[in-house]
Amino acid sequence: MADGRWQVIAAESSVAGLFVVIAAVSVSASVWLAVFGLAGHGLKDLWQHHTQFVRNTHWWPPFCATVDWVAAGILTTAILLGVPFHG
């Protein structure tokens, strides 16, 4: 959002909204949606880094992608180990 261009703000807001919906649905549906959402967000971060879609964010997208993928990996491990997520 700090980029300031209205096209970037609109695109980033739309993408953020999509990921919020995926996260909200995963609460009552399959927790695998959260894994796919995190992995997808990491891919979006790499695309953003590669295209420099948002100015002045050279270090942030790779960092954020790494956090997303580590979280997706931890969540995947918990699912495969049988951790109950829905009561």
Summarised one tens digit per residue, pLDDT across range 32-79 is: 999 999 999 999 888 888 887 777 778 888 899 999 999 999 999 999
Which tokens hold the place of 82? 């049988």
Confidence check: pLDDT of 81 > 80: yes
Are 38 and 69 in contact by the 8 Å Cβ rule? The answer is: yes
In terms of phi and psi (left: phi > 0; alpha: psi -120 to 50; beta: otherwise), the region of 4 is: left
